[in-house]
Amino acid sequence: MSFKTIKNTYILGLGALGGMYASQLQDMNPEAVKIIADEKRIKSYQNTAFTVNGKSRTFQYVRPETGAPYADLIMVTVKFNALPNAIKDLKSFVGPDTIIISLLNGIGSEELIGNTIGIDHLIHAYGVGMDAVREGTALTYSNMGKIVFGEKIPGAAPAKITALKDLFDRAAIPCVNPENMERAMWTKFMLNVGINQASTILNAPYGAFQSPSEARELMKMASREVIQLSLKCGIDLNEDDLKNCLNIIETLHPNGKTSMLQDMEAGRKTEVDIFAGAVMDLGKKYHIPTPVNETFYRIIRFMEEIQ
């Protein structure tokens, strides 16, 4: 596949992340982005005033059953527990050269999508450093963060990497293409395991973790269990990687909230299974104790039950 300019992008999931990137692409070119949604969700979107940093936004929508033209790029930004249905919804928009990036938390969404759609369509990616908060139909953020993207096997799909870099540059979406994408994804996993879960249990915004405190130490304890597991998986994270994660947290708005805390406040099911649950599973596999994440898992599950 030679380099092909990405002209039409479909986004599946209009939460904080999807809304932020949809708005950025729309500013570049109103015809460049469409939202995949079913009829019920489209009517809900159209009957509400969606705003991003105070600016009213109206998006174009496509229904899975309409057979719209193939996408050059599909960005998946749903929650992990919505992924099985999302995979069904995006299938009809995938052509021979369609690129798919999953910006879900965790380290397993690409494999799930690839098993159904075809792994050749996938470029690994995640978002980091953004502080977007969606309350109802109002989305606000002060830091867009960046999209980290790359091939799991370096050099396997250079044309797709070039096409994505070109699109993100045109849309003024900060991005980076690391040399070792798998290690980068484990670093994000470590960050999520620590900050998402600690913030939810403590009902605390980013500010609680931006300087030395008991909250910050709790987050680090959970993250260090990921470091220990990474050594068994050949990823070899270390304390410098954890320090870099703390540096990212310090750039976020002090009043911003993690996606898991937002889910808990909204009464939605959290992604604890792909954070503490995944750490626990890996711990059993490699015979490594994970007491902090086991405690987090039970607390968050209880919080979900009583909300």
pLDDT digits (tens, 9 = 90+) for 231-261: 999 999 999 999 999 999 999 999 999 999 9
Query: Does the structure show a pLDDT above 80 at 138?
Result: yes
Tokens of 304: 């979900």
Other CB atoms within a 10 A radius of the CB of residue 165 amount to 14
> Which residue ranges form the domains of the chain, and what is each CATH number?
9-179 (3.40.50.720), 182-306 (1.10.1040.10)
H helices present in 239-275, as ranges? 239-249, 259-265
Query: Does the structure show a pLDDT above 60 at 225?
Result: yes
Share of the chain above pLDDT 90, in %: 78
C-alpha closest to that of 77 among 21, 141, 134:
21
C-alpha closest to that of 69 among 141, 146, 10:
10
Q: What's the mean pLDDT when you consider all of the chain?
A: 92
Stretch among 38-47, 140-149, 246-255, 294-303 having the lowest mean pLDDT: 38-47
Average pLDDT over residues 153-160: 79
Q: 296-304 long-range CB contacts below 8 Å, 24 or more apart?
A: 296/197, 296/198, 296/201, 296/222, 296/272, 297/272, 299/201, 300/197, 300/200, 300/201, 300/260, 300/264, 300/270, 300/272, 300/276, 301/272, 303/200, 303/201, 303/264, 304/264, 304/269, 304/270, 304/272
- The DSSP 8-state label assigned to residue 267 in this structure reads T
Q: Give the total residue count for the chain.
A: 307
pLDDT in tens, 46-84: 888 889 999 999 999 999 887 678 999 999 999 888 899
> Which carries the bigger pLDDT value, residue 307 or residue 289?
289
CA distance 207 to 213: 10
- The DSSP 8-state label assigned to residue 290 in this structure reads -
Query: Does the structure show a pLDDT above 90 at 106?
Result: no
| Residue 132 pLDDT grade (very low, low, confident, very high; cuts 50, 70, 90) | confident
Coil, helix or strand at residue 269: coil
CA distance 117 to 109: 12
| Residue 11 pLDDT grade (very low, low, confident, very high; cuts 50, 70, 90) | very high
| Residue 2 pLDDT grade (very low, low, confident, very high; cuts 50, 70, 90) | low
Query: Does the structure show a pLDDT above 90 at 44?
Result: no
* The pLDDT of residue 1: 47
Stretch among 20-34, 155-169, 230-244 having the lowest mean pLDDT: 155-169
H helices present in 250-290, as ranges? 259-265, 276-286
Query: Does the structure show a pLDDT above 60 at 109?
Result: yes
Coil, helix or strand at residue 124: strand
* The pLDDT of residue 153: 73
> Which carries the bigger pLDDT value, residue 293 or residue 109?
293
Beta bridge partners of 134: 139
Other CB atoms within a 10 A radius of the CB of residue 304 amount to 16
* The pLDDT of residue 156: 65
The DSSP string of 60-114 is: -EE-GGG-PPPEEEEEE-S-GGGHHHHHHHHGGGEEEEEEEEE--SSS-HHHHHH
* The pLDDT of residue 147: 96
Share of the chain above pLDDT 70, in %: 98
Q: Are strands 50-52 and 55-57 parallel, antiparallel or unpaired?
A: antiparallel
Helix (H) or strand (E) holding 127: strand 124-128
pTM of the entire structure? Answer: 0.88
* The pLDDT of residue 45: 81
